[in-house]
Amino acid sequence: MSPPNARPFDPVEATVSEIRDAYETGETTAEAVADAHLARIDEHDDELNAILAVNRDARDRARELDAAFDRDGFVGPLHGIPVVLKDNQDTRDMPTTAGSTALAESRPPRDASVVRRLREAGAVVLAKANLQELSFGVDTVSSLGGATRNAYALDRRPSGSSGGTAAAVAASFAVVGTGTDTCSSVRSPPAFNDAVGVRPTTGLVSRTGIVPLSDTQDTAGPIARTVEDAARTLEAMAGYDPADPVTARGVGRIPDEGYAAGLDPDALTGARIGVAREFFGLRNDESAPARAAERVTAVVEDAIGELEAAGATIVDPVDVVDRTRLESARVLEYEFARDFDAYLAELGDAAPHDSLADVVATGELHPSVQARFEDAAILDTDVDALDENTGYLRSLRRREAIRDAVLARMAADDLDAVLYPPSRVPPVEIPDNQPFEEMNCELAAHTGLPAIVVPAGFTPAGLPVGVELLGRAFDERRLFELAYAFERATDHRRPPDRFVE
C-alpha cells in the first residue's frame, strides 16, 4: 500500500539522499522506487541494450524493506536504493554469466562479497548489466548480450568492460551500479557516459565471488551519477574479507565517518594537482584521427582551468612515469587462465566448464573476443610455472618500482592528485573497436593506487569527456573531496537527452 503522501516517483537523476528523504517524509516507498526504475528498463533498454537480466525478486525485496522501515526505520545507508550489478559479480538469486553464452547457466551458490555488503546496506539488486565478454576488452560486446550503446550517442561505444553498468546508470535505470576494473573498466565507461567512477586502492574492496581477469589488478568499484552517491556506494562495498587476504591492507584505512560525510564544495582551495602531460594526445596515428584526441584535450584543458578557478594550484606538467616502463608491468596474459580456472573450481558442481580453455573451445564467444584470444598467448601460458617465470616476476617487481616513483613524485611536488584524461579519444562509432592503446588505464591499475573519474564536459559533437584524478594509497577520502568540489563548481553532469522522460 502506498503511503498517504505518495506521489508518482520520478527516477531520472534521483540521488541516494533524495530517495532517503522521500522515504522519511512518506512521499514514496521502496516498492514504488523499484517499480519506476524497472519501468525505465522495460521502456528504454531495447535502445540502449545495457541489461542482461532483471531480478525477478526485486519487488519482493523492496516490499520487505518497506515492511522493515515501517517497523524499525532504515535497515542501512542504501535502504531501498536500486542497484545494477556488472554481471561478473556472483549473485545467489541470478545467473552470473560474464556476458558469455558458455556461462549462461552458471548459478553461484552465494553472493560475491561486494554484493552481500550492498544487500546488507539495504540495496535492491535490480538487474545484471552487460559487459565486455569475460571483461576481456573495452567495447562492451558479448555473446550473451550483444553490443551495449552509449547513452549519449546510440551509434557510439560506451567503452568497457563495465559499459553496461555505466550506460544503465547514465540513463537512470538504477541509482548506482557496480563495475570491476582490471584496466579502465570503472573509469573510461563512466567518462564516456557522463558519470562518476572509482577504482579503489588495491585491498580496499574484496574480489571474492567476482569472475577474474587478473588477480593482481582486479578490483570492484562504484559507478554513479554524482560524487556523493559514488562515495556512499564505496562505503557499503569496502571492508575486510577473510576470504580475500589482500583486504587486510585496508583494515583501519577507511575513515570512521565514511567517505560521503563532510564533502566540502570549497575543498579545492589550496589543493595541489599535477597534470601528467604524457597521457594527453594521440598515441597511434592509426587508432583514431588526430582531431579526436584534440577534442578530448580541449575539454580537459577547460577542466584544468576550472579547477584553478575553484582554488586549486595546478602543477603543469609533472613527469610521472616512463610510458614504456609502465607498459612493461602488464601481467594479464600470465594470470588470466590461472585465475579464471580457480574461480570455476570454487563454483564446484555449479561450474558449466572446467577451464578458460574449455570456454574458448566452445566457439561461442563473441567473434571480436574470440579474435583477441587468437592474437594473445593467454592459453599457452604454463600457469603452474609462474613462480619461476622470469618475465612475470620482473613485471610484478616493476609495479613496485613504478608505484614508488609515482608516490615520490607526488611527495616531491606536494600533490594531492595527478590529473589526466581516462581516454585520449572520445567514444568511437559502432562497429569500430575502441582503441585500447588510447586508454590511460595502466597508471592506477599497475600501481594499485586509487583513482576517480568525474564529468568534465562535452565535445562539440555532444560526447561526454571525463577527467581522472589519481591519489595516494587509501586516500579515497581526499579524492572524493576534490572531485565533489569540482562537480559543485562546474555541474557538468546532464542526463542523456534520449532518456530524460
Contact, 251 vs 240, CB < 8 A? yes
Catalytic site includes residue 128:
no
State the CB neighbour count (10 A cutoff) for residue 65. Answer: 25
Please pick, among 106, 113, 142, 161, the residue that the annotation labels catalytic: 161
Question: Which secondary-structure segment (H or E) carries 60?
Answer: helix 58-72
Please pick, among 142, 184, 185, 287, the residue that the annotation labels catalytic: 185
Q: What is the CA radius of gyration of the chain?
A: 21
Name the phi and psi angles at 85, rounded to 5: -105, 140
Q: What whole-number distance in Å separates Cα of residue 243 and Cα of residue 194?
A: 35
Cell of 214: 587478473
Q: What whole-number distance in Å separates Cα of residue 110 and Cα of residue 142?
A: 24
Q: Is the alpha carbon torsion for 318, 322, 327, 329 positive or negative?
A: negative
Q: 480: helix, coil or strand?
A: helix
Question: Which secondary-structure segment (H or E) carries 470?
Answer: strand 464-470
DSSP state of 326: H
Q: What whole-number distance in Å separates Cα of residue 307 and Cα of residue 464?
A: 18
Q: Which residues of 415-442 are buried (b: 16+ CB within 10 A; e: fewer)?
A: bbbbbbbbbbbbbbebeebbbbebbbbb
Query: What is the DSSP code string of 155-198?
Result: TB---SSSHHHHHHHHTTSSSEEEEEESSSTTTHHHHHTT-EEE
Contact, 113 vs 241, CB < 8 A? yes
Query: Quick one: which of 199, 181, 213 has its CA closest to 369?
Result: 213
- Write the CB contacts of 465 (distance below 8 Å, at least 6 apart in sequence): 191, 295, 296, 299, 300, 421, 426, 455, 456, 457, 458, 459
Q: What whole-number distance in Å separates Cα of residue 464 and Cα of residue 296?
A: 9
Q: Is the alpha carbon torsion for 443, 328, 393, 341 positive or negative?
A: positive
- Catalytic residue positions? 86, 161, 185
